[in-house]
Amino acid sequence: MEERIMLKGSVALAEGALTAGCRYYFGYPITPQNDIPEYLSLHMPERGGVFIQAESEVASINMLLGAAAAGARAMTSSSGPGISLMQEGLSYMAGSELPCVVVNITRSGPGLGGISPTQGDYKQATCGGGHGDYYLIVLAPSSVQEMYDLTIRGFELADKYRNPVMILGDAILGQMKEPVTLRDAKPVTYDKPWALTGPKGRKPQLVKSLYLKDGEMEVHNWKLAEKYRRLAEEDTMVEVDEDADADIAVVAYGSCARIVISAVEMAREEGIRVSRIRPITLYPFPSGEIRRVSEKVGRFLTVEMNTGQMVRDVRLSVAPGCDVRLLARPGGAIPTPQQILAEIRKALE
Amino acid sequence: MPKVVIDEARCKACAFCASVCPKKLIELGGPINQLGYQPAFFSPDREGECTSCALCAEMCPDVLIEVFREEKAS
Amino acid sequence: MKQVFKRPETLIKTTTHFCPGCHHGTVHRLVAEAIDRLGVREDTIGVAGVGCGVFLYDYLAVDVCEAPHGRAPAVATGIKRVNPEKIVFTYQGDGDLASIGMSEVVHTANRGENITVIFVNNSVYGMTGGQMAPTTLLGQQTTTSPRGRDFHYDGYPIRMAEMLATLEGVAFAARVAVDKPANLRKAKQAVNTAFEMQAKNMGFTFVELLSACPTNWYMTPLAALRRIEEEMIPYYPLGIFRQRKAADYL
Q: What phi-psi label fits residue C145: left (phi over 0), alpha (psi between -120 and 50 degrees) or beta?
A: beta
C60: DSSP letter: B
Say if C134 falls within a structural domain: yes
Say if C3 falls within a structural domain: no
Cβ–Cβ < 8 Å for A87, A58: no
> Sign of the CA dihedral A150, A151, A157, A158?
positive
Count CB pairs under 8 A between chains B and C: 73
| Residues A254 and A111 placed together within one structural domain of the fold | no
Task: Summarize the confidence of residues A295-304 as an average pLDDT.
Answer: 97
Query: Which alpha helices (H) appear in A47-137, and where do they start and end?
Result: 57-69, 80-85, 87-95, 122-126
Q: What number of other Cβ atoms are within 10 A of residue A202's Cβ? A: 11
C13 to chain B nearest CA, in Å? 9
Assess whether chains A and C touch, using the rule of 3 or more C-beta pairs within 8 angstroms.
yes
Distance CA A49, CA C78 (A): 12
Confidence of residue C202 (pLDDT cuts 50, 70, 90): very high
Q: Is the pLDDT of residue A343 over 70?
A: yes
Say if C89 falls within a structural domain: yes
Q: What number of other Cβ atoms are within 10 A of residue C177's Cβ? A: 24
Res C30: pLDDT? 98
C66, A196: Cβ pair inside 8 Å? no
Res C245: pLDDT? 87
Half-sphere exposure of C65 (CA within 13 A, CB side): 38
Res C34: pLDDT? 98
Q: Is the pLDDT of residue C137 over 60?
A: yes
Residue-number span of the structural domain to which C65 is assigned: 24-243
C19, B57: Cβ pair inside 8 Å? no
Percentage of residues in chain C having pLDDT higher than 70: 98
Measured between CA atoms, the residue of chain A closest to residue C44 is A198
B63 touches chain C (CB under 8 A): yes
Q: Which fold has domain B4-67?
A: Alpha-Beta Plaits (3.30.70)
Q: Is the pLDDT of residue C246 over 90?
A: no
Which amino acid is present at C229?
E
Which residues does A contribute to its contact with C (CB < 8 Å)? 24, 26, 50, 52, 54-56, 58-60, 62-72, 74, 88-89, 92, 96, 196-201, 204-210
C21, B52: Cβ pair inside 8 Å? no
Res C56: pLDDT? 96
Assess whether chains A and B touch, using the rule of 3 or more C-beta pairs within 8 angstroms.
no
Distance CA A338, CA C169 (A): 59
Contacts of C67 in chain A (CB under 8 A): 62, 65-66, 92
A98 to chain C nearest CA, in Å? 11
Confidence of residue C248 (pLDDT cuts 50, 70, 90): low
Say if C13 falls within a structural domain: no
Residues 143-172 of C with CB under 8 A from B: none
Residues 218-247 of C with CB under 8 A from B: 221-222, 225
Confidence of residue A63 (pLDDT cuts 50, 70, 90): very high
* CATH number of the domain residue A290 falls in: 3.40.50.920
A312 to chain C nearest CA, in Å? 32
| Residues A25 and A104 placed together within one structural domain of the fold | yes
Res C51: pLDDT? 94
B68, C15: Cβ pair inside 8 Å? no
Helix, strand or coil, per DSSP, at residue A88: helix
The mean pLDDT value of chain A amounts to 97
Q: How many independent structural domains does chain C possess?
A: 1
Task: Summarize the confidence of residues C129-156 as an average pLDDT.
Answer: 97
Say if C39 falls within a structural domain: yes
Cβ–Cβ < 8 Å for C5, C29: no
Contacts of C54 in chain A (CB under 8 A): 210
* pTM listed for this prediction: 0.96
In the beta sheet, which residues pair with residue A181?
A4
Task: Summarize the confidence of residues C120-133 as an average pLDDT.
Answer: 97
Task: Summarize the confidence of residues C220-225 as an average pLDDT.
Answer: 98
Single out the residue of A326, A346, A345 nearest to residue A273, CA to CA: A345
B12, C19: Cβ pair inside 8 Å? yes
Contacts of C15 in chain B (CB under 8 A): 10, 35, 62
Q: Is the pLDDT of residue C249 over 60?
A: no
Q: Which helix (H) or strand (E) holds C136?
A: none
| Residues A56 and A107 placed together within one structural domain of the fold | yes
Question: Which residues lie below 8 Å from residue A3, measured CB to CB, with a gap of 6+?
Answer: A181, A182
Contacts of C181 in chain B (CB under 8 A): 20, 55, 58-59
Q: Is the pLDDT of residue C117 over 90?
A: yes
* CATH number of the domain residue C210 falls in: 3.40.50.970
Which amino acid is present at A138?
V
Question: Which residues lie below 8 Å from residue A102, measured CB to CB, with a gap of 6+?
Answer: A61, A64, A75, A76, A77, A78, A83, A86, A90, A136, A164, A165, A166, A167
Q: What number of other Cβ atoms are within 10 A of residue C106's Cβ? A: 17
Measured between CA atoms, the residue of chain B closest to residue C179 is B59
With vertex at residue C115, the alpha carbon angle to CA C112 and CA C121, rounded to the nearest 5 degrees, is 100
Res B1: pLDDT? 62
B54 to chain C nearest CA, in Å? 6
Say if C19 falls within a structural domain: no
Q: Using one digit for the tens of pLDDT, what is the confidence trace for C55-112?
A: 999 999 999 999 999 999 999 999 999 999 999 999 999 999 999 999 999 999 999 9
Residue-number span of the structural domain to which A134 is assigned: 3-235
Single out the residue of B61, A11, A198 nearest to residue C38, CA to CA: A198
Say if C199 falls within a structural domain: yes
Task: Summarize the confidence of residues A32-37 as an average pLDDT.
Answer: 97
- Single residue among A173, A208, A235 that ends a domain in this structure: A235
Which amino acid is present at C221?
P
| Residues A122 and A227 placed together within one structural domain of the fold | yes
C59 touches chain B (CB under 8 A): no
Cβ–Cβ < 8 Å for C113, C77: yes
The mean pLDDT value of chain B amounts to 94
Confidence of residue B73 (pLDDT cuts 50, 70, 90): low
Backbone torsions φ then ψ of A234, nearest 5 degrees: -100, -25
Residue ranges of domains in chain B: 4-67
Q: How many independent structural domains does chain A possess?
A: 2
- Return the partners of chain B (3 or more C-beta pairs < 8 Å): C
Nearest CB partner across the interface for C222, out of B12, B15, B65: B15
What value of ipTM does the predicted structure carry? 0.96
Task: Summarize the confidence of residues A172-201 as an average pLDDT.
Answer: 96
Res A64: pLDDT? 98
Nearest CB partner across the interface for C18, out of B55, B61, B69: B61
Measured between CA atoms, the residue of chain A closest to residue C56 is A206
Q: Is the pLDDT of residue C120 over 60?
A: yes
Distance CA A256, CA A91 (A): 28
Half-sphere exposure of A305 (CA within 13 A, CB side): 27
Q: What number of other Cβ atoms are within 10 A of residue A230's Cβ? A: 13
Contacts of A205 in chain C (CB under 8 A): 63-64
Q: Using one digit for the tens of pLDDT, what is the confidence trace for A102-124?
A: 999 999 999 999 999 999 999 99
B69 touches chain C (CB under 8 A): yes
Helix, strand or coil, per DSSP, at residue A324: strand
- Return the partners of chain C (3 or more C-beta pairs < 8 Å): A, B
Res B2: pLDDT? 76
Cβ–Cβ < 8 Å for A58, A88: yes
b or e along C126-164 (b: 16 or more beta carbons within 10 Å of the residue's beta carbon)?
beeebebbbbbbeebbbeebeeebeeeebeebbbbbbbb
B61, C2: Cβ pair inside 8 Å? no
* CATH number of the domain residue A193 falls in: 3.40.50.970
Backbone torsions φ then ψ of A255, nearest 5 degrees: -60, -35
Measured between CA atoms, the residue of chain A closest to residue C49 is A208
With vertex at residue A242, the alpha carbon angle to CA A236 and CA A248, rounded to the nearest 5 degrees, is 105
Contacts of B12 in chain C (CB under 8 A): 19-21
